[in-house]
Amino acid sequence: MGTSGNMNTNAEKTGLHPRNPHRTRYDFPQLVASCPELSPYVNLNKFNDESIDFADPNAVKALNKAILIHFYKIKYWDIPANYLCPPIPGRADYIHYIADLLASSNGGVIPQGKSIKGLDVGLGANCVYPIIGTKEYGWSFIGSDIDSFALKSAQNIVTSNLSLKGNVDCRQQTSSKRFFQGILSPKEYIDFTICNPPFHASAQEASAGSVRKLKNLNGQRVKNVVLNFGGQANELWCEGGEAQFIRLMALESAQIAMNCFWFTTLVSKKENLAGVYRILAQVKALEIKRVEMKQGQKTSRFVAWTFLDPEQQQEWRRRRWS
């Protein structure tokens, strides 16, 4: 969603993926028609455009709900107070670039349908990645999380929407240091993983980051922190921050090297890339790719790696994608 209050411009957001449906300005009358509860939050901004106050978490939540209903045909969506309410355009970009990643290993053809399965490491209460992936490509998902309350919320979204029921399997992770163990059975195969790691190393760091974000949104000093996108502790920070989180994930990925075609994770901080490449070399990943994504003024990226050699990739395609 970017960091500017002027979200509703006429210019196409050319930085977003070509298949991303959020490249043009938000059509607020259309979104309000799909989700009337957005209406009270829509006002004219200083540019005389219809917009919302992006520093207001309730407004952001209402906008996200409207987007999910309008673009992804969701009948029901809600998240508990203070849980992460992610910007949908950026999440959609990740999914579309994952589709391109799979296509790059499949002769340029995107594998589609529910036999293509992704694992969302850290599903959260919002279930956004599976919502987008099932609607755009018909994929199925496993969603894991250590937070049982978040998982209950995600499960409620799944069971309340026919498009998700039977296509999204919510699973509890009992260890904050594990990513795949306890979630996947030894003979279970997934085509890709996605992950949005907690990128702060402490609660203090997360709070300081939120102050900076809110100051950017409204241009004023911020005393009391209100997270406009919400977020619980495990969503925002972990011991060692993003770098340690990804390091542990890469180490564990080597233990299930033959169970997944492409492992991927967002890397929010560019300075962490060198460490990510080092650990992937250490675990002997055979192929590593970095995909840059641009949303407004913000550039993000994900790193993908596989342990499958060309012959094993061919066998995987024959067995699962043909």
Provide the pLDDT for residue 305. 98
Q: Domain limits at 156? A: 84-321
Q: At CA 151, angle to CA 149 and CA 152, rounded to 5?
A: 65
Whether 314 maps to a domain, the answer reads yes
Give every strand in the sheet of 168-172, ordered side by side.
Answer: 168-172, 140-145, 117-121, 190-195, 260-266, 298-306, 287-295
Whether 7 maps to a domain, the answer reads no
Closest CA to 66 of 22, 96, 97, 23: 22
The string of pLDDT tens digits covering residues 137-165 is 999 999 999 999 999 999 999 999 999 99
The string of pLDDT tens digits covering residues 82-119 is 898 888 999 999 999 999 999 999 999 999 999 999 99
How many domains, in total, are found in the chain? Answer: 1
Provide the pLDDT for residue 315. 98
pLDDT classification of 220: cutoffs 50, 70, 90: low
In angstroms, the CA 136 to CA 130 distance is 10
Whether 71 maps to a domain, the answer reads no
Average pLDDT over residues 63-79: 97
Supply the mean pLDDT for the chain: 87
DSSP 41-79: G-EE-TTS-EE--TT-HHHHHHHHHHHHHHHH--S----
Whether 104 maps to a domain, the answer reads yes
In angstroms, the CA 291 to CA 275 distance is 17
Whether 242 maps to a domain, the answer reads yes
In angstroms, the CA 203 to CA 233 distance is 7
Whether 16 maps to a domain, the answer reads no
Whether 3 maps to a domain, the answer reads no
Q: Domain of 298: which CATH number?
A: 3.40.50.150
Whether 60 maps to a domain, the answer reads no
